[in-house]
Structure 1
Amino acid sequence: MTETRQKSAVDAIADEYLTKSCALDPFGATAMGIPGYDHLVTDLSPHGIEADRELTAQTLAALDAATPADDVDRVTIAAMRERLGLRLELIDSGWVYADLNNLASPLQGLRDIFDVASTATAEDWKNIASRLNLLPTSVAGYIESLRHGAALGKVPARLQVTLGIEEARQNASDESFFYSFVRGEDAVKALESAPDAEEVKAQLEKGAAAIAAAYGELADFLESELLAKAPEKDAAGRERYELASRNFLGAKIDLDETYEWGLAELARIIAEQEQIAEQLYGPGTSVDDAVANLDKDDRYILRSKDELKAWMQETSDQAIRELNGVHFDIPEPVETLECMIAPTETGGIYYTPPSDDFSRAGRMWWSVPPSVTTFNTWREKTTVYHEGVPGHHLQCAQAVYLRDTLNSWRRLACWVSGHGEGWALYAERLMEDLGYLEDPADKLGMLDGQRLRAARVVLDIGVHLEKPCPEEWGGGIWDAEKAWKFLRANVNMPEAFVRFELNRYLGWPGQAPSYKVGQRLWEQIRDTAAQSAAARGEEFSLKDFHARALALGSVGLDVLQEALAN
């Protein structure tokens, strides 16, 4: 049982910051499962961003005056200084006013927030109706920020603006998600016995029409005003990229050394894949041939989304059941993970944490494109471990659970991509070490994912820093065309998926490498801990190391290393 810890003055600063952040960002509150904000919207205008900056600066000043009561406080102060300090740098850089890409920008967030909205009761749908009708103000604020960014000379690349126009037009059309959402089965069921059902339904329809129209206005702005100002070049440049890298990793790395390491790591993984291909089908079998054979093997094929969902759930449940009490001690609320087919059709696979009170469980989502009708388990078993247990679900849901030791900001709000995604890749390799990928086909699938992540290190740093491209991949200087050929040679996925991924890397500099680089840093931290134990003459316990590391919650990787060393 977790020992209850007395709340400190530092915890009060962190909790106050979270409470005020929720008022400024109701979307964030909903994502964290914090009640009381689900009917409100986030101000995405320059005024909203400036309010964020003021709160961040005030909190940093309060931390500077605070005295830590214990080691938990010391980690909180280090983690908040790192995260909030970077937030100030990002705002002051001006690039927050050019936040537009094909995956993780306000363009998507305004829609995606409804994936985690509570939909069980009539009251939930009243909140949704309120939020829908207010959403046009968020869109207007977003347009204002993009316009402000353009005045500062901060404009997304032309490709991202073009993709944004297409997505905004879809959300504005008669086929918009918002119409199907408010007319869906969940709404009908929740409102069937509500005395004011017709009034709520009318407000939902009005809200859906309002946000669809707002998306149309956003598309018009992007097409008629921003597109002409957008640079053709995708490269972010070194200064912007270094800031983004620190933000996604919570660590400062040598980008040039990391690029060279990425090339070497990619070559190592390819060699490992080639060995397994021959193990599966005999000497001389290429990786491509092995993949083609596995994709035709009925033992590894699922033929519907229902089969996919059932297989995901079964695989996840088995991992939780067998790892619990042996390699990890998993709290009872964390034992539940729901596997879902996402309402979107982009091809992404992602995880959403449980709500603060676990009334909404942690969920693994699979967004299936219309063209995809079959699924190969040999490719995706490791994905379940990545998104579920021991990956994101164990990491995130366990942090939510630790309310007796961690303050609310550390449990719910602090997320560092390099820590989180690095842990999830680390978890994939861990499952191989624990014997869960004994089928060479499943191991080839794990390596297929690792190969993609290593390729992203090379591509992302190469393109955005405009580094020389190896002759093997086209020579000259890295650009989008060379990156496309490079990805096609290293990713065994449908072309539409690969194109989506490339567009993501081009528009979200520094994020994609955080997976593989994060894994590298996690492994270095683990190895250092093992060496330290040996130097003290102690036996190193991997289970205890994982428990200590995950008990810290998501923190920057430099903070993680320092906290575990102490």
Structure 2
Amino acid sequence: MIKRILTVVYLAVVFTACKNEVTTKEPEANVDVSAKFNKMLDNYYEEGLKLNPVQATFAGDNRFNDQFPNPLADETVAKVKAYYTTYKEMLDQFDDASLSASEKMSKAILKWECDINLEAFKFKKEYFPIDQMWSINLVAGQLASGASAQPFETVEDYNNWLKRLEGYLEWLTSAESKMKEGMQAGYVLPKSLITKVLPQLEALTVEDLDKHLFYTPVKNFPEGFSEEDKKQLTEAYTKMVSEKIVPAYKSLHKFMSAEYMEAGRASSGISDIPNGADLYKYQIKLYTTTNMTADEIHELGLSEVARISAAMEKIKNEVGYKGDLKSFFDYVRTKKELMPFKDPQEVIDNFNAIHNRMKPQIEKLFDVKPKTPFEVRRTEAFREKSASAEYNPGSLDGTRPGIFYTPIPDVTKYNTYSDESLFLHEAIPGHHYQISLTQESKDLPQFRKTLWYSGYGEGWALYSESLGKELGLYTDPYQYFGMLGAEMHRAVRLVVDTGLHAKGWTREQAIQYSLDNEAESEAGITSEIERYMANPGQALSYKIGQLKIRELRAKAEVALGDKFDIREFHNQVLETGCVPLALLEDKISTWIIASK
């Protein structure tokens, strides 16, 4: 449906770069080239971990757990620029004719990585180091809790975190400095976003150590620690939190609540800052991996909203509701039968029950499943009020599980109508299958195992929601309406994100459009709109990617007829990991030809 609109960045890449990644015997003359190329890829990955050691920790690589190079420091910025520039130049040394099909794809992906990251330096994104949802301070809070990727199993682990915090403290100081520079140059957050950041910072100014998030590891020493070790670490963490962490957060909170708040923007969209229109074009390319324009995406969104509205009308009539669709949204939002829980654990149990219901059907659609364990957890309290449901990947070696986090700020108001589609998206077969299978791959080079392209990754997760009936779910019309609601939510995003950042919409206009067209609560919609304000373009990736994958499946079904195997199609989509959408399209086209 959107084939003509979806003009992708990689149209210049030769068709053969995306052929099926199968192992073939290489000519002798190419063996040395192949070895050099793959060594270059390994070096790229290793050097990348040193530049971003927190990413290494999340991948389960613990060699750099004590490091936190300040990404706002001039020295770090110079190293990152040199890194991408050097590897972009290295790619020119390798002729496609000397590379295997898999290596050609790796070359195309690495070129994309270098280009898109170097282009980012044209903009002043460092002037927005903190927001309510996406920034480093929220990641640091997760790590500090002791329940995330940072290990707290040995004395060395505890000391590593103390060392890492020294680097983090430098970042906190730099963040305040960069925001002050941004104020002078016209780069400030909207006031509504600053308002949401303040309670997150304030929660970490508490002086009662027993209530401080960063003190949590001291309250959970593993068995086997000696009394001497416990005493030494308790003293060190007490000093770190009381004398450094709390003062740093107090300083930042004071600055953002007063001076920065006063300077905050009344406008909502990114186009209102210097060079904002060009920044939004970049953000669209970054997150969708396409060259679509804001106008094209806006029109596509309006079309999808109309299509999904018609499907919603059918469900409304099926359950016997007599009012209009907008009033039906309110009816679903407030229906007491859809808010049955009194204890947060019941929400977790419900997601696990959904998983159990679909297990008998999963093998009909997937013959390759991840080995990495999986868990459902409640979102941590310190960020729960501003968080959306999300998936945190397991470690590369599978020892740390993939985790589906769901916020439950008020369990008595938790509405279950979209739980089935949410589980399919965030968990299985959505992000957990896609990310875990990539990380477990024996064929992909290391650098591709931790890549993330939102157009592909979020597109796959939204596509996964449409598999519910095939997996034995959506037997309840309200759950199917939940799926339609989730898809509508992503279609609305195309309209409101482009409205905010390219068409001059206000926050309030975007909230009202969402209220008029979807069944999310007003509080939930407000958080969503503010999320789009904080990270322009990211919300576009879901629908763009989903439509591309659905288009490719339909194309394969028509072309292959009885030869079409849904399990093999899913293998083809998943086996290469995250890729720009043009490379995925070429790969599926080549597979269709080969399958005939």
Query: Scaled by the length of structure 2, what TM-score is found?
Result: 0.84
SS of 1:364 mapped into structure 2: strand
**Alignment-derived partner of residue 483 in structure 2:** 446
**Alignment-derived partner of residue 455 in structure 2:** 418
Q: Work out which of the residue numbers 279, 284, 291 in structure 2 matches 1:245.
A: 284
Q: How does 1:424-435 map to 2 (within 5 A)?
A: 424-435=461-472
SS of 1:104 mapped into structure 2: coil
Matched, 1:32 2:32: no
Mark the CA change 1:488 to 1:146 in structure 2 (over 3 Å): closer, same or farther. same
Q: Deviations over 1:258-315 (max 9, x none)?
A: 2112112112212211211221135557564476368545477232111111222232
Q: Which amino acid is the alignment partner of residue 218 of structure 1?
A: L
Question: Is the Cα contact below 8 Å between 2:191 and 2:266 reproduced in 1?
Answer: yes
Mark the CA change 1:66 to 1:152 in structure 2 (over 3 Å): closer, same or farther. farther
Mark the CA change 1:194 to 1:497 in structure 2 (over 3 Å): closer, same or farther. farther
Deviation at 1:81, TM superposition (A): 1.3
**Alignment-derived partner of residue 390 in structure 2:** 350
Q: Work out which of the residue numbers 61, 75, 82 in structure 1 matches 2:112.
A: 82
**Alignment-derived partner of residue 303 in structure 1:** 342
Deviation at 1:448, TM superposition (A): 1.5
Matched, 1:103 2:133: yes
**Alignment-derived partner of residue 365 in structure 2:** 327
Mark the CA change 1:215 to 1:4 in structure 2 (over 3 Å): closer, same or farther. farther
Alignment partners' CA distance in 2, 1:59 and 1:178: 46
**Alignment-derived partner of residue 217 in structure 1:** 251
Question: Is the Cα contact below 8 Å between 1:333 and 1:358 reproduced in 2?
Answer: yes
Mark the CA change 1:49 to 1:112 in structure 2 (over 3 Å): closer, same or farther. farther
Q: Does 98-107 or 257-266 show the bigger shift?
A: 98-107
Alignment partners' CA distance in 1, 2:227 and 2:580: 47
Alignment partners' CA distance in 2, 1:491 and 1:300: 18
Alignment partners' CA distance in 2, 1:341 and 1:151: 40
Q: Work out which of the residue numbers 171, 196, 199 in structure 2 matches 1:163.
A: 196
SS of 1:484 mapped into structure 2: helix
Q: Which amino acid is the alignment partner of residue 310 of structure 1?
A: D
Q: Work out which of the residue numbers 405, 413, 423 in structure 2 matches 1:365.
A: 405
Q: Work out which of the residue numbers 552, 555, 580 in structure 2 matches 1:528.
A: 555
Question: Is the Cα contact below 8 Å between 1:303 and 1:374 reproduced in 2?
Answer: no
Mind listing any 5+ residue stretches in structure 2 that lack a counterpart? 1-20, 25-30, 272-276, 591-596
Q: Which amino acid is the alignment partner of residue 585 of structure 2?
A: Q
Mark the CA change 1:184 to 1:288 in structure 2 (over 3 Å): closer, same or farther. farther
Alignment partners' CA distance in 2, 1:191 and 1:503: 46
Q: How does 1:205-284 map to 2 (within 5 A)?
A: 205-209=238-242, 210-223=244-257, 226-227=260-261, 229-237=263-271, 238-281=277-320, 284=323
Alignment partners' CA distance in 1, 2:36 and 2:94: 7
**Alignment-derived partner of residue 379 in structure 1:** 418
Matched, 1:179 2:212: yes
Deviation at 1:244, TM superposition (A): 0.2
Alignment partners' CA distance in 1, 2:153 and 2:220: 8
**Alignment-derived partner of residue 6 in structure 2:** none
Q: Deviations over 1:466-502 (max 9, x none)?
A: 2xxxxxxxxxx52222112222333433433222212
Alignment partners' CA distance in 2, 1:177 and 1:227: 30
Alignment partners' CA distance in 2, 1:268 and 1:226: 43
SS of 1:436 mapped into structure 2: coil
Q: Deviations over 1:403-442 (max 9, x none)?
A: x200111012x10111111111110012234442122111
Q: Which amino acid is the alignment partner of residue 101 of structure 2?
A: D
Q: Deviations over 1:337-361 (max 9, x none)?
A: 1111121322421001110111101
Question: Is the Cα contact below 8 Å between 2:41 and 2:445 reproduced in 1?
Answer: yes
Mark the CA change 1:65 to 1:216 in structure 2 (over 3 Å): closer, same or farther. farther
RMSD, matched Cα: 2.9
Deviation at 1:460, TM superposition (A): 0.7
Alignment partners' CA distance in 2, 1:317 and 1:38: 36
Q: Work out which of the residue numbers 96, 102, 122 in structure 2 matches 1:92.
A: 122
Q: Work out which of the residue numbers 138, 141, 152 in structure 1 matches 2:174.
A: 141
Sequence identity (%): 24
Alignment partners' CA distance in 2, 1:504 and 1:175: 31
Alignment partners' CA distance in 2, 1:396 and 1:177: 36
SS of 1:263 mapped into structure 2: helix
Deviation at 1:227, TM superposition (A): 4.5
Alignment partners' CA distance in 1, 2:422 and 2:206: 33
Question: Is the Cα contact below 8 Å between 1:95 and 1:149 reproduced in 2?
Answer: no
Mark the CA change 1:117 to 1:361 in structure 2 (over 3 Å): closer, same or farther. same
Mark the CA change 1:223 to 1:283 in structure 2 (over 3 Å): closer, same or farther. closer
Matched, 1:498 2:535: no
SS of 2:78 mapped into structure 1: helix
Deviation at 1:454, TM superposition (A): 1.2
Mark the CA change 1:106 to 1:450 in structure 2 (over 3 Å): closer, same or farther. same
**Alignment-derived partner of residue 401 in structure 1:** 440
Alignment partners' CA distance in 1, 2:269 and 2:261: 17
Mark the CA change 1:348 to 1:190 in structure 2 (over 3 Å): closer, same or farther. farther
Q: Work out which of the residue numbers 506, 513, 518 in structure 2 matches 1:479.
A: 506
Alignment partners' CA distance in 2, 1:265 and 1:177: 50
Mark the CA change 1:184 to 1:224 in structure 2 (over 3 Å): closer, same or farther. same
**Alignment-derived partner of residue 428 in structure 2:** 389
Mind listing any 5+ residue stretches in structure 1 that lack a counterpart? 467-476
Mark the CA change 1:544 to 1:193 in structure 2 (over 3 Å): closer, same or farther. same
Q: Which amino acid is the alignment partner of residue 236 of structure 1?
A: I
Deviation at 1:192, TM superposition (A): 5.3
Deviation at 1:552, TM superposition (A): 0.8
SS of 2:577 mapped into structure 1: coil
**Alignment-derived partner of residue 83 in structure 2:** 55
Q: Which amino acid is the alignment partner of residue 132 of structure 2?
A: N
Alignment partners' CA distance in 1, 2:551 and 2:208: 49
SS of 2:405 mapped into structure 1: strand
Alignment partners' CA distance in 2, 1:122 and 1:317: 39
Alignment partners' CA distance in 2, 1:81 and 1:281: 55
Query: Scaled by the length of structure 1, what TM-score is found?
Result: 0.88
Matched, 1:20 2:47: yes
**Alignment-derived partner of residue 498 in structure 2:** 461
Alignment partners' CA distance in 2, 1:514 and 1:167: 27
**Alignment-derived partner of residue 545 in structure 1:** 569
SS of 2:376 mapped into structure 1: strand
Question: Is the Cα contact below 8 Å between 1:25 and 1:42 reproduced in 2?
Answer: yes
Question: Is the Cα contact below 8 Å between 1:303 and 1:375 reproduced in 2?
Answer: no
Q: Which amino acid is the alignment partner of residue 545 of structure 1?
A: F
Alignment partners' CA distance in 1, 2:178 and 2:78: 11
**Alignment-derived partner of residue 594 in structure 2:** none
Q: Does 80-89 or 175-184 show the bigger shift?
A: 175-184
Question: Is the Cα contact below 8 Å between 2:408 and 2:414 reproduced in 1?
Answer: no
Deviation at 1:150, TM superposition (A): 5.1
Deviation at 1:190, TM superposition (A): 4.9
How many residues are paired up? Answer: 547
Mark the CA change 1:458 to 1:216 in structure 2 (over 3 Å): closer, same or farther. same
Deviation at 1:326, TM superposition (A): 2.2
Q: Does 118-127 or 267-276 show the bigger shift?
A: 118-127
**Alignment-derived partner of residue 18 in structure 2:** none
Q: Deviations over 1:218-262 (max 9, x none)?
A: 234435554555443222223211100110111211321221121
